[in-house]
Chains A and B, each alone.
Chain A
């Protein structure tokens, strides 16, 4: 407990201090509501509309999580192919880079035309494509950048290339993969909310922000943004928990070092 407090303490103090400063300066300066509401107003709006926000977060969360899973699966699969087969590397890597160069969010209206304005597939596709690239690039790096000695050692045991993948490349890629998962989890939330501005279910966070901002209910709009942030934070923390659970050796080194 003391260790946890020491770990999160400084950030907590900075965060609370910032909120207090924000609240106090707003009480003194009293700016117009459209600039930025005070934290207390946002919090009040958040709890006042908690039912609506919760339902919207669940709907957006569904798009985020399914899109994230799809994008991660695709990115990892693609990375395995590319690291395994030279032909795949020469064809798929430039293709992926070209794909990433497209302003993906700009595809949202086009996807709506393809899949139907209210279909979740359109928004899920946006998330999948957004998530795919960082996962693919990082995982490929992890699968290919293995210490030459480690590969030679495996060759000295006459290990098959599947054994090398299973026992060396994949574990070596884990830290790279989890770094990309953390980036991807934030990207997924951004992608889903922005995609929702253009279509999909109307009882989701994106439309909630658009509608409230349109009706000059800024505190309500900010409350929905807060919900989006919380969704992102939860996903980030979950990635961290998975990371720790799948790489016990990193944790062992930490405790030994202290």
Chain B
């Protein structure tokens, strides 16, 4: 990757329909246009059923659009997946319980054919990045939820992808751990300069982390608003600042499209 692509992610006129032609046919995404520039931190937020996870999986080429195109790093999403251009982190952490922490972080490197010595070197670096240096020989079951998510992030970054796709990675964590993880993720983002697309349910989380918050509306999933968050450097006090509250309110207002009976 010598030439930096202009757009990390470019989604144009994407529609996604599940179960095409069947009685349970459902339109998950409708006419989505989204561009994420290189090095940006963008959050996708919306109620259940708004298709934010589907959109993330389209970017990851784990599913394909019914109409429209998805480009990652100026190539097709499929090609980007084959080129291992992105790392992914899930809410469940998806660590393999039969592998130690070290072996979990090594897994993508092993698949990509790195030599043993290079793998070991890289794992040490990654464990250091997520502050888990003493836990390399432990198994995932021995770690707390927050620690497991840190391992999942380390694994996603281990092979130096330019893009990080995260699907509610902190969704299962308690509030304190969650805030702590957010700060750490921003630290990692600042140090590594990755592009991040982050799916979340939490308004404060989206505002605290992102430069841009994409608000999505449900049934079918559409982009309702695109809010830029320019509240300066994130520090502990950020969460108590009036600017932060103003942005949280703005996102909350943008999420008020649904006055229906369900939610």
Q: A: which residues have CB within 8 A of B?
A: 147, 149-150, 152-153, 155-159, 163, 167-168, 171, 174, 247-249, 252-253, 256
Beta-carbon contact of B111 and A150 below 8 Å: no
Beta-carbon contact of B94 and A150 below 8 Å: yes
Type the 1/0 row for B134-152, where 1 means its CB is closer than 8 Å to any CB of A.
0000111110000000000
Q: Is B96 an interface residue (CB 8 A)?
A: yes
Beta-carbon contact of A147 and B94 below 8 Å: yes
Beta-carbon contact of B96 and A167 below 8 Å: yes
Distance between B64 CB and nearest chain A CB, rounded to angstroms? 12
Beta-carbon contact of A159 and B111 below 8 Å: yes
Q: How far is the CA of A157 from the CA of B94 in the complex (A)?
A: 13
Q: Is B27 an interface residue (CB 8 A)?
A: no
Contacts of B81 in A (CB 8 A): 155-156, 158
Contacts of A163 in B (CB 8 A): 111
Given A167-B107, A252-B139, A157 contacting B84 (CB threshold 8 A): yes
Partner of B94, one of A153, A252, A253: A153
Top 10 A-B pairs, shortest CB-CB distance: A253-B141, A256-B142, A149-B94, A249-B139, A171-B98, A252-B139, A156-B88, A149-B90, A153-B94, A158-B82
Q: Select the residue from A149, A167, A248, A253 with max chain B CB neighbours within 10 A.
A: A149
Contacts of A252 in B (CB 8 A): 138-139, 141-142
Q: Is B108 an interface residue (CB 8 A)?
A: yes
Measured CB to CB, the nearest residue on chain A to B138 is A252
Measured CB to CB, the nearest residue on chain B to A256 is B142
8 new A-B pairs (CB below 8 Å) besides A156-B60, A252-B138?
A149-B94, A152-B62, A157-B108, A249-B139, A252-B141, A253-B139, A253-B141, A256-B142
Q: Is B86 an interface residue (CB 8 A)?
A: yes
Q: Is B13 an interface residue (CB 8 A)?
A: no
Q: How far is the CA of A126 from the CA of B162 in the complex (A)?
A: 58
Measured CB to CB, the nearest residue on chain B to A163 is B111
Contacts of A248 in B (CB 8 A): 139
Beta-carbon contact of B94 and A249 below 8 Å: no
Beta-carbon contact of B62 and A247 below 8 Å: no
Beta-carbon contact of B92 and A249 below 8 Å: no
Q: How far is the CA of A152 from the CA of B56 in the complex (A)?
A: 12
Contacts of A171 in B (CB 8 A): 96, 98
Given A150-B96, A247-B98, A249-B97, A156 contacting B139 (CB threshold 8 A): no
Beta-carbon contact of A149 and B62 below 8 Å: no
Distance between B146 CB and nearest chain A CB, rounded to angstroms? 16
Beta-carbon contact of A147 and B92 below 8 Å: yes
Q: Can you list 11 A-B contacts (CB < 8 A)?
A: A152-B60, A152-B88, A153-B90, A156-B60, A156-B88, A157-B107, A158-B84, A248-B139, A252-B142, A253-B142, A256-B142
Q: How far is the CA of A167 from the CA of B108 in the complex (A)?
A: 11
Distance between A170 CB and nearest chain B CB, rounded to angstroms? 10
Beta-carbon contact of B62 and A155 below 8 Å: yes
Contacts of A247 in B (CB 8 A): 98
Residues in B51-96 with C-beta less than 8 Å from chain A? 57, 60, 62, 81-82, 84, 86-88, 90, 92, 94, 96
Measured CB to CB, the nearest residue on chain B to A170 is B98
Distance between B182 CB and nearest chain A CB, rounded to angstroms? 21
Given A149-B94, A156-B62, A167-B107, A249 contacting B82 (CB threshold 8 A): no
Contacts of B87 in A (CB 8 A): 156
Q: How far is the CA of A174 from the CA of B57 in the complex (A)?
A: 30
Q: How far is the CA of A150 from the CA of B88 in the complex (A)?
A: 11
Q: How far is the CA of A158 from the CA of B142 in the complex (A)?
A: 29
Partner of B86, one of A152, A156, A159, A168: A156
Contacts of A256 in B (CB 8 A): 138, 141-142
Distance between B132 CB and nearest chain A CB, rounded to angstroms? 15
